[in-house]
Amino acid sequence: MYETGCKCKEQTRFLKVEADFCADSIWCNNCQSNLDLSRLALSNKLKRELSEWALEFGKWLKLDTDELVSNAKELEDAHNVMGAILCEKVKEELGNSYMVFFTPSSLVRSYSQKLL
C-alpha cells in the first residue's frame, strides 16, 4: 500500500471512496491520505469510472462566486448515488482484502447552513 500514497506505518485495510477537488477518489480511511488510483488493483474500466466521477465533483457550485447553482441539491444527490454504486464496484474488485466505505458529499448542506 505504501506505493499508493498511504502514510500508515502498516498496510491499511480500510479505504473510503470520496470525491474532492483535484484528487483521486480513494483515500486511506485511517491516515486520510489520497491514494494513487493508478497503483490500486482495480480494473482500468473502474479506474476510469472513478476518475470521471471525481471530475464531476462540485458541479453544483459556482466556483467564481462561491454560490450554489439552482439545481445543486439534485446534482449532488445524483453524484452521491453514483459514488455509492462505484464504492460497491470497488468492494467487488478488491474482495475481502479491504473494508471500503463511501463518504457522500455534503457541500450543499454546508453551504445552505452557511447562508442561515
Residue 106 has pLDDT above 80, yes or no: yes
Residue 9 has pLDDT above 80, yes or no: no
Q: 115 pLDDT band (50/70/90 cuts)?
A: low
In this prediction, residue 116 carries a pLDDT of 42
pTM to 2 decimal places: 0.89
In this prediction, residue 4 carries a pLDDT of 63
In this prediction, residue 108 carries a pLDDT of 92
Q: 114 pLDDT band (50/70/90 cuts)?
A: low
In this prediction, residue 7 carries a pLDDT of 83
| Residues whose CB is less than 8 angstroms from the CB of residue 54 and which lie 6 or more positions away in sequence, other chains included | 19, 20, 23, 24, 25
- From residue 110, give the alpha-carbon distance in Å to each of 40, 72, 102: 31, 12, 18
Reference 85, options 100, 107, 106, 98; nearest CA is 100
Reference 83, options 111, 106, 61; nearest CA is 106
Task: For residue range 24-34, list pLDDT tens digits in order.
Answer: 999 999 999 99
Exposure class string for 6-37: b at 16+ Cβ within 10 A, else e:
beeeeebbebbbbbeeeebbbbbbbeebbbeb
